[in-house]
Amino acid sequence: MHDSRPDTTGDTTGNTTGNDRFTPLTPAQHELLAAARDVAARAYAPYSAFRVGAAVLAADGRVFTGCNVENASYGLSLCAERAALARAVAEGVQPGEVAGVAVWCLDACPGPDGTLPEGAAAPCGACRQWLAEIAPRAFLVSNSLPGAVAVAALLPFGFGLEKG
């Protein structure tokens, strides 16, 4: 299938390594991160003790939050990103109408300098696929990334519906 999403990585090889793919956070992105941080405190994570919150910014300005919810049968657990995206869709947000997503992990282990290692709270592969389908032109911010990044850069060859 042909993916008609624009290349936002600046590298046509699909290589998205390096900090040049990040942009400084805007005040609105900081606010979205705060919403993700706040909902992370409500996560149900008795097995991993890895509490994550996510906030989805719809194109119309509404914000939808979600947190991870674990289950003893790990495959039945729900990541924060998918919880927030599902909530947005349930409230009428259509694929492509997401402007941004924020992810905050309360429990990632900081490095020696007190900051989180880059990518410690980045979306898992399943969440990247959901983001590629529902929020292909959105930005992503996290408390473990040095700035905002295009969702398209997270899964450059993602599977999805062909866009005309």
> Counting beta carbons within 10 angstroms of the beta carbon of residue 21, is it exposed (0 to 12), middle (13 to 18) or buried (19 or more)?
buried
Q: Among candidates 69, 37, 36, 42, which has minimal Cα distance to 54?
A: 36
* 107-23-88 Cα angle (round to 5): 60
Residue from 81, 97, 133, 162 carrying the catalytic annotation: 81
For residue 83 the two structure tokens come to 């919880």
- DSSP string of 101-129? EEEEESSPPP-TTSSPPTTTT---HHHHH
Structure tokens at 154: 């997270």
81 noted as active-site residue = yes
Q: How far apart are CA 30 and CA 32, in angstroms?
A: 5
Going by C-alpha positions, the residue among 148, 152, 128, 131 that lies closest to residue 140 is: 148
Q: Which residues form the catalytic set?
A: 81
